[in-house]
Amino acid sequence: MRDRHLGKMPRGGTTTARYEEDPDNAWNCCSWCEYLLIVILSTILLVGVLILTLFWVMFYRGGFAWTERPLQQFNLHPILMVAGFVTLSGFSILIYRLCRCVKHIYVKLIHMFFHAVAIPCIALGFLSVFDSHNALQKVNFYSLHSWLGFVTMGMFLLQFVIGFFTFLVMLCCENKTYSCRSAMVPIHASLGLANFWLAIATSVTGIIEKERETAKDPNLSAENQLIEHYITSAIGLTLVVIGIIVTFAVRRTNAPASAKVYVTERI
Amino acid sequence: MRDRHLGKMPRGGTTTARYEEDPDNAWNCCSWCEYLLIVILSTILLVGVLILTLFWVMFYRGGFAWTERPLQQFNLHPILMVAGFVTLSGFSILIYRLCRCVKHIYVKLIHMFFHAVAIPCIALGFLSVFDSHNALQKVNFYSLHSWLGFVTMGMFLLQFVIGFFTFLVMLCCENKTYSCRSAMVPIHASLGLANFWLAIATSVTGIIEKERETAKDPNLSAENQLIEHYITSAIGLTLVVIGIIVTFAVRRTNAPASAKVYVTERI
């Protein structure tokens, strides 16, 4: 994700020749503080938004169930989608920023692992809303939220498949696939970030749709509605703050490459 | 925005020494095709979303007015916000991608000009909804959309002021402010992109809030409601496609710098 390869690659060279040194760009106090701040803040927010959604669903939307109670089955949808598209994907993106001293192939594998764990969450989240809508005889793929969600899921799957083949399978022929992998890095990174923001946009639209739906519920007291409104607004705001922090965290520096980074490993 | 400065800067050197050459990275057929595709597609979508919003407001929401008709005054809000935060800001970001043969200081000035034109649009858009809410005795800053909008406006203003001072005013002392400007480039670029996505997320939440509000209107026929639903969904989908294209367009390549780029001019 971060641009370490800033010179030309010595094609066909030995492994030890594949790095560049630049002691000027070593870690200073400022970058350590920023690193720590991002680690702490992003962990709090990524876990916090999941806990907040769980709290909202458990205490204000009646908890969970599977097929026997469709309304409660629907409640799995926000939890699983936030877990898959925001918490797991957010950590997966931040891994490139957080694991600075780990060998790059391990960073890639952890990145893939987090996204792979997100897949069953997303699939179950999709199934829960689909089943619940069918049981309640609601129309599927009608609202803007559902269409945005469809685009988000499609892009996520595309990114996963392309990323898996380009950055892991293609490593079996490291030298020959260098230029292809190199060209794919910025595309995969920028579309990944776009997909993350798309997931956030989809989540906030979903929250607003649900909030407007519950606002019509005559069984809810005005006080409870107000508290629920504050909880859902807090979830929405946390989501966009996460988006801003992740975008900021994975920005690429203008400075030259840092010390001893293996060029081919980085892509 | 795009990383052209990939070597060390020859501090105190003459102006002619401040560039790097790399004929390997010259434009090929593929990059021309991509460039043209992005220019055409982004222009169509950025102008298209504004026309679509105008069409929706004119034909389905009763057109415009100022203080005498609060409901029509509100209609200025989506138009002006989409114009300022999406169309103008989108072109302003893409300028870095589109103007490849223009001197960098002109690109900066055009970038600032587009954002400067967006400011009155945003201010009027904010005033129109504020006035309309007051006249209709609606609560201000209650919904998630309004809070997201508040964050978006705050970040926009911060980015504008910091960008103006860092990348234009600081040029009066070009050599001494080099390291500061260099450090600010990736921060300004990443937060700018985050702000653009935030604007998109805010817009889609606003569209959904308005759509849910009008769905309760008993004067509207079911057919008209359905058409309006499709129009607002189309606006929302166009907005996220714009976000994806802009993020993709301003990605930074992994390849070395292209030919004859003046290093200090780039920041």
Closest Cα in chain B, distance from residue A38 (Å): 14
From residue A253, how far is each of A4, A257, A267, B180 by CA, in Å? 9, 9, 17, 13
pLDDT confidence of B213, banded at 50, 70, 90? Answer: confident
Domain residue spans of chain B: 28-266
Closest Cα in chain B, distance from residue A229 (Å): 8
Residue A265: which of A38, A25, A116, A96 has the closest Cα? A96
| Cβ within 8 Å, pair A254-B267 | yes
| Cβ within 8 Å, pair B190-A251 | yes
Q: What is the pLDDT of residues A185-194, one digit of tens each?
A: 889 999 999 9
Q: If you average pLDDT over residues A124-129, what whole number do you get?
A: 94
Q: How far apart are CA A259 and CA A83, in angstroms?
A: 36
> Which residues of chain A lie closer than 8 angstroms to B236, CB-CB?
144, 147-148, 205
Closest Cα in chain A, distance from residue B201 (Å): 5
List the single range of B23-37, B220-234, B235-249 with lowest mean pLDDT: B23-37
**Amino acid code (one letter) for A45:** L
Q: What is the pLDDT of residues A21-68, one digit of tens each?
A: 444 445 677 878 888 899 899 999 999 999 999 999 999 888 888 777
- Best mutation target among A85, A144, A238, A263 (most B Cβ atoms within 10 Å) is A144
Asked if residue A132 lies in contact with residue A77, where contact means CB atoms within 8 angstroms, the answer is yes
- Kindly report the CATH number that applies to the domain delimited by A30-253: 1.20.120.1770
- Helix, strand, coil share (%) of chain B residues, nearest 5: 75, 0, 25
- Best mutation target among A177, A203, A208 (most B Cβ atoms within 10 Å) is A208
| Nearest beta carbon to residue A208 from set B205, B237, B250 | B205
Q: What is the pLDDT of residues A81-125, one digit of tens each?
A: 999 999 999 999 999 877 777 888 899 999 999 999 999 999 999
pLDDT of residue A27: 66
Q: How far apart are CA B111 and CA B74, in angstroms?
A: 29
Q: How far apart are CA B137 and CA A38, in angstroms?
A: 42
| Cβ within 8 Å, pair B200-A205 | no
| Cβ within 8 Å, pair B251-A186 | yes
- Kindly report the CATH number that applies to the domain delimited by B28-266: 1.20.120.1770
Using the predicted structure, report yes or no on whether residue A8 has a pLDDT greater than 80.
no
Q: Is the ipTM of this complex over 0.90?
A: no
